Amino acid sequence: MLELKPRANASAFWTYASPVLALVLTVLIGLAIFIALGKDPVQGLLVFFWEPIKSTYALGELLVKATPLLLIALGLAVCFRSNVWNIGAEGQYVVGALAAGGVALTANATSTGWIVLPILLAGILGGMVWGGLVAWLRDRFNANEILVSLMLVYVAIQLLQFMVYGPWKDPNGYNFPQTKTFDAVTKIPRLMPGSRVTIGLLLALIGAGAVWVYLYRTRAGFAQQVGGLAPLAARYAGFSSRRALWSALLISGGFAGLAGALEVAGPIGQLTPYVPAGYGFAAIIVAFVGRLHPIGAIFSAILMSMFYIGGELAQSRLGLPKSITGVFQGLLLFALLACDILIANRLTWRRSA
């Protein structure tokens, strides 16, 4: 019989091998799903893991999807390492997009390309305000940040819909709930012609480096992590749990807001009710698959963006429903949770009596 026995110490090998095994299990279960649906499993795997990387254009689209996922996951990694459970990054993403869109709508004939900076700053501040609201409710009233941050997602979506159905609705938009298309001067600069990849990718990579330095090379980052792992030890060492709470949620909100700003002033180009794309929720999986590490988040963001693009292609080429993307995301998360058991436990063989 196979049985689990507790390890004396956590396995360093399985800490990093667990996401790889989870991906393998996800692929195997995905093959079974394709067969059960009567689809060619090889074609299904090609759609998810080859089509997104087979050409320069496809790689560009992959990076477009990966950029907001990486940015949001970086902020969530800081939160989760601090034992602050921010589940509402989607709301902070939406409010960041809303704030950035408001600045973009002020552009006129005299505006220059420098307006991109206020747009991005507005997105960051919008996300920080929404994250700060969660921190204030937790700090002032001891409200559960999981429930508060999650409920604020739907408040943010309602604010977005109010603006695009009301004050910011394009009068020349044939009654569609959307703002006017942002002026060309407000668009985020692209890295290369013929691709939708913007400087947001560079900002995300710089953000990954900044988070790494903050977490592993600064006293403040050390305090954040100690507070998450051992709150009593952090208190004894003089680290402020209140400061850790505010720092984690403001950083997370800022990254999510920046992602929202880059999306609406980049690939989307206007505000619509479809700005909420689920990136804030998918980034939770990205953060955990990446082991709450900035470098790991880069690779897991690319993997998750492959699921997004593969799901879209599976609809058009294989006739599968849109929910196939969520199925693969959920499979990866549950497989990871199952494989993580091997970090603290050893699988052994015991002969039955």
223 alpha carbon, distance to own chain's centre = 24
Under DSSP, is residue 174 helix (H, G, I), strand (E, B) or coil?
A: coil
Sign (positive or negative) of CA dihedral 187, 260, 178, 132: negative
CATH (one of 1.10.3470, 1.10.8, 3.30.300, 3.30.70) for 18-348: 1.10.3470
Provide the residue ranges of all domains of the chain, joining segments of one domain with +.
18-348
Is 260 within 8 Å of 277 (Cβ atoms)?
no
What is the Cα–Cα distance from 327 to 37, expressed in whole angstroms? 13
What is the Cα–Cα distance from 348 to 332, expressed in whole angstroms? 25
Q: Which of these, 93, 144, 84, lies nearest to 264 by C-alpha position?
A: 93
Please tell me whether the overall predicted TM-score, pTM, comes out greater than 0.75 for this model: yes
Assign 3-state DSSP to the chain and report helix, strand, coil percentages, each to 5: 70, 5, 25
User: Half-sphere exposure of residue 219, counting CA atoms within 13 Å on the CB side?
Assistant: 5
What is the Cα–Cα distance from 187 to 170, expressed in whole angstroms? 18
Residue 187's pLDDT is 94
Residue 245's pLDDT is 93
Instruction: Show pLDDT as tens, one digit a residue, over the chain (353 residues).
Output: 778 889 988 899 999 999 999 999 999 999 999 999 999 999 999 999 999 999 999 999 999 999 999 999 999 999 999 999 999 999 999 999 999 999 999 999 899 999 999 999 999 999 999 999 999 999 999 999 999 999 999 999 999 999 999 999 999 989 999 999 999 999 999 998 888 999 999 999 999 999 999 999 999 999 998 887 787 788 888 888 889 999 999 999 999 999 999 999 999 999 999 999 999 999 999 999 999 999 999 999 999 999 999 999 998 888 888 889 999 999 999 999 999 999 999 888 877 66
